[in-house]
Amino acid sequence: MLEKYSKKYADKESGQFAQSILDDLRAKPSPDGNEEEYEEQTYADFDEDTQYEIRIWLREILFDYICRKGHEPENKQRQKIIDRLNKDTTDVFFVRFKIDESFTTLWNELVKEVQIEIAELDAEDAE
């Protein structure tokens, strides 16, 4: 998420700051050189800015998926999306993303939001 932001706003100070954070995070070696054990963190545990970034990332993924497939992701695809989110949060924040009620609520809200937006876009196209 930080990587996407740093590329999008590379010419602005905020984008450069995001890139510097990424550089710092990537430079941190694991303490013992082996696979790291990561702390688990739920969606609700992240600060507001990070929650917003996760929300935007997930909304884009869901919008693309629902536009292509015409339905919300089923269990297998949902798990792939969650795995990808977990990889990104592990790479950027060094925590494992733990699915809880707050994430499930976010998921359901975004699916409804995206479905409504797509229906509105389809209605405009039909006119």
Q: What is the pLDDT of residues 11-31, one digit of tens each?
A: 666 666 666 666 666 655 555
Least confident of 29-33, 68-72, 90-94: 29-33
Whole-model pTM: value is 0.68
In sign, the C-alpha dihedral spanning 62, 68, 69, 70 is positive
Q: Angle of helix 75-93 relative to helix 13-27, nearest 10 degrees?
A: 90
- Answer with the residue of higher pLDDT: 121 or 104: 104
Task: Name the residue with higher pLDDT: 124 or 21.
Answer: 124
Which one-letter amino acid corresponds to residue 71? H
Alpha helices in the chain (DSSP H): 2-8, 13-27, 48-69, 75-93, 101-126
79: tokens are 């798990």
Q: Which of 89, 109, 108 is nearest to 98 (CA)?
A: 89
Per-residue pLDDT tens digits for 99-120: 999 999 999 999 999 999 999 9
